[in-house]
A = this chain, B = another copy of it.
Amino acid sequence: MTDPTSRLDRRLKPILDLLHRHELVDGLVRQQDQPRKGLVEGLVHRQHLAQLGNALGKLHAADIAHLLERLLPDDRMLVWSQVSDADGGDVLWDVNDTVAEALIARTDPQRLVAMCRRMDPDDLVYVAELLPADVRSRVYASIEQEDRDWVDASKRYPEDSVGHLMTPEMLAVAETATVKETLKTIRRLGDLPDQMDRVFVTDARGRLVGSFALTKLFLHPLRTPVAQFMDRDPASFYADAPAARTALAFERYDLISAPVLDAKDKLIGRLTVDHVMDFVREEAEEDALLREGLRGDEDLFAPALFSARRRWLWLFVNLLTAFVASRVIGVFEGTIEQLVALATLMPIVASIGGNTGNQTVALFIRGLALDQIKKDNVGYLVRKEIGIAAFNGLIWGCVMGAVAWLLYGNPRLGMVMAIATLLNLVVAAIAGVTVPLVMNKLGRDPALGSSVMLTFVTDSMGFFIFLGLAAAVLV
C-alpha cells in the first residue's frame, strides 16, 4: 500500500546485497576459469544463486528489466541466469533493445525458445525481431496456429505503425447481442486483461459498427440489445496508420483502448493506452539522445569499445562541419594577421547565432509535432522569428559592439561587431525556420540532425560575415 517504485527500492536491496558479496561474482568468474574448484565454495555459491532466483521470482518482469538495465555487464549476466523461463520473455520485451541484444547473444538457444514460446503473441512480434533466425523459427514452430497467424499478420505492418503496437486480446460481440449474451461471453473468458474498458461491436462480416463502455453493462437490464446504447461512431485506427498520430489522439480524448481496423474496416485488434504511453515515452527519450547523435536505445553499461565505435559517425560528421567552418576562417588568415582581435571576437558572433537559431529550431520542432504549424500560419511565424532576431540583433549587437570598441579602442571594429551580430542572428532565424520545415517536407524527423545543420550554418556564416565585413571595412 505504498508507492510501488519506492517499494521496489526496498525489494531490490537484498538482491543488490547478494551481488555485492564478492563470493558471488567471483564465484561465477572462478567457476569458468577453474572448473574443479573446492566443493564447499561451490555449495556456498549455489546457495547464493538459489537465494537470488528466489528474490527475482517475487519481482514483476518490468522490475527485473529495470534491475538488469542498471547493472554492470557481469552482474547483469549473473542475474539474467537466474530469471525463470516464465518471466524471461516479458523481461526481454521490457528491457531496451541494446540490452536485449546483449542478453540474447549470451543465452542458450534452448532457453530462449522456452522463454519466448510463453509470451503473448503481440509481445512476441516485438522480441522476435531481435532473435537469431534459427531460434525465431523454433519459437514459431512451437506456438499455437492462432498465435502464429497473428504474428504473421502483424509483421506485415511497418514498424512504428498502429499494427505493430496492437494486441489481439479484445472483447467483441455481434450487433445483435444483448447485455445478457455479452455477460456470458465475459464469464466464459474468465479474468479480463487490463486496459479492457470497452466492448467492440461488429456486423456479420466482422466490420466494426460501434463500441460501448464495459460499465454500461451494469446500468442496463439483461435483455437490452447492446445496439441500443452503443456509441455508433467510436474512435478507431487503421493498422497501417503511424503510431505517433495515435498517441496524440489517445492523449487528446483520454482513450484507454481503441479498436484497430484493416483496410476493409474489419476489426483486427485493439490498441491500449499502456502501449501508446510506452511509445510516447520511448520516442521522447530517444529524441533527446538522437539529437546528440546517439542511438535512441543506447545502453549506459555497454562495453566502452562498443560504445566508442557507435559514436564515430557522429564525431566524423561534426569534425567535417567544424573543418568546413574552419576553412572559412582560413580564407581570411591575411585579415586576422593584420588585426588579431578578430580571432578573439569571431567565436562570439558564431556562438550567439547558434544559440538563438537552436531556439527557433526547438520551437518549430514542437509546433510540427503538435500539428500546430500549417500552411495558413507558417508565413506569420517565419516573419515573427525573423522580426525577433532583427530586434534582438539590434539591441545585443549594439551592446557587443560597444564592448568591442571599449576593449580594443577601435570604433570601426565595434561597428563591424554590431553589424555582424545583427546579420548572423537574422541568418540564424532564417536557417532555424528553414531547416526543420525542409526536413519535415522531406518526410524526415526534424528532431534529428536539425541542430547540427543549424550550427553548421551559423558557425560558417558567422565567421564569414564577421571576417568578410572586417576585411572590407578595417584593413
Contacts and interface: CB of A to CB of B under 8 A. Distances in A.
A236 B141 CA distance: 42
Contact of A69 (B3, B256, B355, B372): B372
Interface string A222-250: 00000000000111111001000110111
Contacts of A253: 4, 60, 62
Interface in A312-335: 312, 314-315, 318-319, 321-323, 325-327, 329-330, 333
A453 interface: no
A304 interface: yes
Contacts of A358: 292
A377 interface: yes
B234 A251 contact: no
A107 interface: no
Copies in the complex: 2
A219 B190 contact: yes
A88 interface: no
A187 to B, nearest CB: 6
Nearest to A349: B322
Contact of A355 (B304, B314, B351): B314
Contacts of A219: 186-187, 190-191
Interface in A180-214: 183, 186-187, 190-192, 194-197, 208, 213-214
Contact of A319 (B60, B63, B400): B400
Interface string A340-370: 1111111110111001101101110111011
Given A300-B381, A348-B319, A20 B376 contact: yes
Interface string A279-305: 011001101110111100010110011
Contacts of A214: 214-215
A194 B337 CA distance: 72
Contacts of A20: 376
Contacts of A236: 1-3
A217 interface: yes
Q: Which among A245, A323, A350 has the highest number of chain B CB atoms within 10 Å?
A: A323
A288 B362 contact: yes
A254 to B, nearest CB: 4
B326 A336 contact: no
A202 to B, nearest CB: 12
Contacts of A370: 66, 69, 285
Main secondary structure of the interface of A (DSSP, over half): helix
Contacts of A298: 363
A411 interface: no
A122 interface: no
A72 B323 CA distance: 42
Given A322-B347, A326-B345, A277 B273 contact: yes
A84 interface: no
A194 B293 contact: no
Nearest to A467: B343
B187 A63 contact: no
Interface stretch (A41-49, A151-159, A385-393): A385-393
Given A3-B237, A254-B194, A344 B333 contact: yes
A373 interface: yes
Nearest to A358: B292
Contacts of A278: 251
A135 interface: no
A213 B323 CA distance: 62
Given A319-B352, A322-B352, 5 more contacts: A5-B249, A217-B218, A315-B356, A319-B399, A325-B347
Which 6 pairs, one residue from A and one from B, show the smallest C-beta to C-beta distance? A284-B284, A343-B343, A254-B274, A70-B372, A322-B351, A292-B362
